[in-house]
Amino acid sequence: MLALLVSNRDGAEVETRRLCEVSAEVTGMDGAGVMLMSGDVVQGSVCTSNAVSALIEELQYGLGEGPCIDAHNEGRPVLEPELGQPARPRWLAFAPPVLDAGVRAVFGFPLRVGSVRLGALNLYRDQPGSLADEQHADALVLADVAAELILMLQAQAAPGLLAAELEAGAVFRYVVPSWPTSTSLTCSPS
């Protein structure tokens, strides 16, 4: 799996976009995405393998629901093999547009190193059905590889800056805090 991530012949550089392409390829899925989260706040997508994966990531970010959100928050894989007829209805806003895009099964795997939670790996396919045992095992390994890769790349960045390799194919959302438009302070002598 690591060999597939290497983007040039001498093996010196790894590109994050390859992470999603390889994740889809190794697991036999139609697409993949890697979402970063801080606490319970979605920061954005490090990479996606295609337009449908990008849509899935964007919907999860915008709606605050989906397999990556749940996998990150629950710290375990979240598997939905029958998105059109789920055993337990969930993601009421997320599911309809994803189904319209042709997705029939989605799977989220948390990215973590020890107790540190980083986000989640999202996999999808256009056919319903559960993951085979080998696909599930490969997805767990890929989520671990993705977490290690993200930490490795970020460790090389200057303090306070995002690693260039992580930012290259990423779609991050920056939240600017809102400030009150007027404040009145009352001081009383004591």
pLDDT for residue 171: 46
> How far is it, in rounded angstroms, from Cα 26 to Cα 128?
18
Question: Taking residues 60-85, what's their average pLDDT?
Answer: 94
156-160 mean pLDDT: 63
- pLDDT at residue 186 greater than cutoff 70: no
Fold topology of 2-172: Beta-Lactamase (3.30.450)
User: What is the residue extent of each domain of the chain?
Assistant: 2-172
Q: What is the pLDDT confidence band of residue 44, given thresholds at 50, 70 and 90? A: confident
Question: 11-20, 42-51, 63-72, 181-190: which has the highest mean pLDDT?
Answer: 63-72
Residue 148 confidence class, pLDDT cut points 50, 70, 90 = confident
Question: Which ranges of 28-168 would DSSP assign to H, the alpha helix?
Answer: 51-63, 67-74, 95-100, 133-155, 164-168
Average pLDDT over residues 155-179: 50
| Cβ proximity of 7 and 14 under 8 Å | yes
Using CA atoms, how far residue 164 sits from 78, 96, 109, 153, in Å, is 30, 35, 24, 8
